[in-house]
Amino acid sequence: MNRVALAAAVLGAAGMGITALAAAQAPSRSVQDGVYTVAQATRGGALYEDKCASCHGATTDITPGMAPLLGDYVFQDTWKGRSVGDLFERILNTMPQSAPGTLSPQETAEIIAHILSANRAPAGDVTLADAVAPLKQIQMSW
Ligand code: HEC
């Protein structure tokens, strides 16, 4: 096999892998399906107040302070079409910016429940999971 053919074969295989992966991870639910509970969002609201609001402001604010608002149209535009798992990883790994890595997975899920509620995604009967894999199945659509 010459180098071009080899490269084409490798790219082809990689392409198939990506397609298979995308199919396996295609979100099956959206945040409009009632994916968190009111109790979870309430606990998350207190955590948000304590650990996030100093930089991000209240989720009901309309003017950003030193960090982007998490309950406005800019936030919704940024995250539209992405999975809750992406947001979970972002927060768990990088926030609070002053102390990344200090939130537990459960606290992160509660804070996300609060953020979803602030973006008017409805509450439901099921608790939002606190692990990446199931959250990758839930798409953000507003
Ligand atoms: C010390 C200030 C500070 C604190 C506290 C903080 N953040 Fe942030 N956060 C930032 C800044 C600044 C950015 C924008 C820069 C960046 O993207 O890292 C940001 C970005 C973000 C983003 C991405 C926003 C977007 O529109 O894409 C999310 C989500 C987020 N923070 C969530 C949180 C959560 C949840 C908490 C509380 C657990 C928190 N942050 C606490 C400063 C902070």
Q: Where do the domains of the chain lie?
A: 29-139
Give the residues surrounding ligand 1 with Cβ less than 6 Å away. Answer: 51-52, 54-56, 67-68, 70, 75, 78, 90-91, 95-98, 103, 111
Q: Which amino acid is at 2?
A: N
Which residue, judged by its Cα, is nearest atom 33 of ligand 1?
95
Q: Kindly state the average pLDDT of the residues 24-31.
A: 78
Q: Distance between terminal CA atoms of the chain? A: 50
CATH topology of domain 29-139: Cytochrome Bc1 Complex; Chain D, domain 2 (1.10.760)
Confidence tier at 40 by pLDDT (50, 70, 90): very high
Q: Kindly state the average pLDDT of the residues 121-129.
A: 98
What is residue 27's predicted lDDT score, i.e. its pLDDT?
A: 74
Q: What is the pLDDT of residues 41-50, one digit of tens each?
A: 999 999 999 9
What is residue 11's predicted lDDT score, i.e. its pLDDT?
A: 52
Q: Kindly state the average pLDDT of the residues 35-55.
A: 98
Among 135, 140, 123, 134, which Cα is nearest to 37's?
123
